[in-house]
């Protein structure tokens, strides 16, 4: 061979990230066209854990669909079931007692903290730091224990019923939750010191993975992804549902549009959720947890109903088309990470693979929730 070997300018290779890959946190596959360490083009391939929940929602009566919703997102399941019961209640016109609404909000917020904690640990692990995961899981364990005491399950809750709840909370739950709040606050400070200020961590996130507000809009990104891009959008505030208007909390918004902004949004959200839980426990009214008058058979009148809720990952929507029978005619689930993930293909172009996977981590993916 004579002469130096030149790398052809257009030479790329295909890298299959997934379906089994530590950074995808599940069975997601991204086909990346790589130029060395740089991504030229990425194509996300979905459907490895697709279970057709929408069809299941159509071929069984409403109450039987209840457990399905928590199988969407095993980390923040409570928020999804909340959306479902609200949608059916809206369609069938079922009144919910106030106490039930408060307990719903408390449990949903607890679950949101648990979900964000897991995300925090997994995200730092994506960046190569293993220790925060252990700390975060230990804190999450307390929340799961508290929720297990009243709901009976640790992840895939089926606690809400149309019109209320299946089980009232007890003093033990209240005591546990009250003890949990100061402990969480202390932990959040510790995470701040251990992770947020770390120079390597900041270098890896700041100004990395930019997602512009315009891009968020074009792809319909919601939740912390949108709020990290300076969009003040939280369904709890913008389109209030349940008893959220009665709580005093802030929606953290950061304008940097980078992975760090999304990280900070979630970290601040935990504190806000703790505030909501605290207020909820203080204000918790007495009363029944199920309405006195409730139709035995849920048969919403003919129509087309939409209900959006803010889950840990963004705005989750249910479109319910009813034909007046006991089964839904159409049961559409609008999952937030589906939209959030769809911008990844465009956002990661030209990035290095390390930064792209940090960006993917900052989107907070739960694959069963994308695939449904």
**In 3D, which of 288, 43, 283, 319 has the Cα closest to residue 174?**
283
Interface residue with other proteins among 134, 175, 179, 193 (CB under 8 A) is 134
Subset of residues 329 to 348 that bind other proteins, contact rule: CB under 8 A: 329-330, 332, 334, 338-339, 342-343, 346
What secondary structure letter does DSSP report for 195?
I
**36 contacts other proteins (rule: CB under 8 A):** yes
> In terms of CB distance, is 174 or 329 closer to other proteins?
329
**61 contacts other proteins (rule: CB under 8 A):** no
> In terms of CB distance, is 253 or 270 closer to other proteins?
253
Interface residue with other proteins among 166, 181, 290, 354 (CB under 8 A) is 354
- H/E stretch holding 329 reads strand 328-334
> In terms of CB distance, is 6 or 282 closer to other proteins?
6
Subset of residues 6 to 25 that bind other proteins, contact rule: CB under 8 A: 13, 15, 21-23
**68 contacts other proteins (rule: CB under 8 A):** no
SS3 128: coil
Backbone angles phi, psi at 41, to 5 degrees: -155, 140
Span of 42-50, 66-74, 139-147, 169-177 interacting with other proteins by CB under 8 A: 42-50
> In terms of CB distance, is 64 or 130 closer to other proteins?
130
Residue 94 CA to residue 265 CA, distance in Å, equals 35
Taking CA 218 as the corner, what is the angle to CA 271 and CA 260, rounded to the nearest 5 degrees? 35
**179 contacts other proteins (rule: CB under 8 A):** no
Residue 167 CA to residue 188 CA, distance in Å, equals 31
Interface residue with other proteins among 63, 182, 287, 303 (CB under 8 A) is 303
> Closest approach of Cβ 150 to other proteins, in Å?
27
**138 contacts other proteins (rule: CB under 8 A):** yes
Residue 220 CA to residue 315 CA, distance in Å, equals 10
Interface residue with other proteins among 50, 185, 190, 255 (CB under 8 A) is 50
**38 contacts other proteins (rule: CB under 8 A):** no
Concatenated DSSP letters of 134-182: HHHHHHHHHHHHHHHHHHS-SSS---EETTEESS---HHHHHHHHHHHH
**306 contacts other proteins (rule: CB under 8 A):** yes
Subset of residues 231 to 260 that bind other proteins, contact rule: CB under 8 A: 231-233, 237-239
Subset of residues 74 to 93 that bind other proteins, contact rule: CB under 8 A: 87, 90, 92-93
Subset of residues 182 to 211 that bind other proteins, contact rule: CB under 8 A: 194-195, 198, 200-201, 203-204
Span of 153-161, 164-172, 242-250, 349-357 interacting with other proteins by CB under 8 A: 349-357
Residue 158 CA to residue 77 CA, distance in Å, equals 9
Q: What Å distances lie between residue 32 and 227, 278, 332, 344, CA to CA?
A: 27, 45, 30, 11
Span of 53-61, 68-76, 100-108, 258-266 interacting with other proteins by CB under 8 A: 53-61
Q: Are 368 and 251 in contact (CB under 8 A)?
A: no
Span of 74-82, 101-109, 122-130, 281-289 interacting with other proteins by CB under 8 A: 122-130
Concatenated DSSP letters of 72-118: T-SSSHHHHHHHHHHHHHHHHT----HHHHHHHHHHHHHHHHHHHHH
Interface residue with other proteins among 149, 210, 220, 288 (CB under 8 A) is 220
**173 contacts other proteins (rule: CB under 8 A):** no
Q: What Å distances lie between residue 291 and 242, 314, 323, CA to CA?
A: 15, 29, 25
Count CB neighbours of 349 within 10 A: 15
Structure tokens at 267: 């970290």
**97 contacts other proteins (rule: CB under 8 A):** no
């Amino acid at each position: 061979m004579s002469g130096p070997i030149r790398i052809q300018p257009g030479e790329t290779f295909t890298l299959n990230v997934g379906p089994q890959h530590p950074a995808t946190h599940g069975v997601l596959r991204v086909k990346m066209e790589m130029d060395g360490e740089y991504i030229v083009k990425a194509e996300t391939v979905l459907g490895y854990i697709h279970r057709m929940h929408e069809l299941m929602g159509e071929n069984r009566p409403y109450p039987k669909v209840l457990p399905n919703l928590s199988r969407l997102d095993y980390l923040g399941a409570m928020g999804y079931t909340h959306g479902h019961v609200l949608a059916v209640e809206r369609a069938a016109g079922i009144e919910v007692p106030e106490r039930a609404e408060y307990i719903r909000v408390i449990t949903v917020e607890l679950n949101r903290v648990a979900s964000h904690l897991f995300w925090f640990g997994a995200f730092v692990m994506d960046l190569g730091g293993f220790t925060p995961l252990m700390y975060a899981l230990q804190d999450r364990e307390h929340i799961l224990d508290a929720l297990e005491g009243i709901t009976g399950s640790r992840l895939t809750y089926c606690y809400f019923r149309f019109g209320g709840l299946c089980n009232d909370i007890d003093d033990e739950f209240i005591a546990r939750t009250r003890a949990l709040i100061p402990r969480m606050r202390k932990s959040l400070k510790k995470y701040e010191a251990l992770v947020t200020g770390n120079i390597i961590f900041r270098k890896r996130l700041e100004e990395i993975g930019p997602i512009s507000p315009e891009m968020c809009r074009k792809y319909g990104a919601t939740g912390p992804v949108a709020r990290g891009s300076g969009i003040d959008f939280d369904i709890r505030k913008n389109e209030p549902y349940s008893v959220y208007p009665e709580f005093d909390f802030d929606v953290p918004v950061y304008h940097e549009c980078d992975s760090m902004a999304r990280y900070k949004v979630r970290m601040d959200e935990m504190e806000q959720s703790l505030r909501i839980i605290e207020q909820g426990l203080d204000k918790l009214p007495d009363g029944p947890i199920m309405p006195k008058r409730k139709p035995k058979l849920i048969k919403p009148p003919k129509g087309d109903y939409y209900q959006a809720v803010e889950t840990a990952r963004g705005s989750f929507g249910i479109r319910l088309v009813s034909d007046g029978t006991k089964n839904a005619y159409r049961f559409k689930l609008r999952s937030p990470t589906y939209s959030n993930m769809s911008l990844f293909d465009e956002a990661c172009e030209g990035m290095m693979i390390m930064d792209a996977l940090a960006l993917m981590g900052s989107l907070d993916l739960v694959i069963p929730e994308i695939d449904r």
